[in-house]
Amino acid sequence: MSRSQERLLLGFRVVAVIEAVSYVALVLASIAHRIGQTQNFVPRIGPVHGVIFLAYLSYALLLRRVLRWDASTTLFVILAAVIPLGGIYVEQRVGKLARLKP
């Protein structure tokens, strides 16, 4: 794996963790607001999470091209982001996924 691929992979791993944490924050803010425990933070957290999610998606599609992921690997990485903390699971697995591809 080249140096630029390693940097790209590291960037993706960082974004994956941030995306997972922001998703959990959004879910918790939504639950807290629904049960009336706090003011509504969803309008503040939602757009931030949206931008982070788009960065995650962009990285995933870029990595697909650079690391020559097949469609099933790419789909797995993208679908994991819609599960709370799925990004953390992907972050842990993505190094292995990169090494599996020639």
DSSP 59: H
Q: Which residues form the domain of 60?
A: 3-100
Mean model confidence pLDDT for the chain: 89
Q: Which tens digits make up the pLDDT trace of 80-94?
A: 999 989 989 998 888
Interval 20-34 mean pLDDT: 94
Cα angle value 92/18/88 (rounded, 5°):
25
Count of structural domains within the chain: 1
Q: Output the pLDDT for position 91.
A: 86
pTM, to two decimals = 0.86
Please determine, for residue 98, whether its predicted confidence score (pLDDT) is greater than 90: no
> With pLDDT > 70 as the criterion, what percentage of the chain qualifies?
94
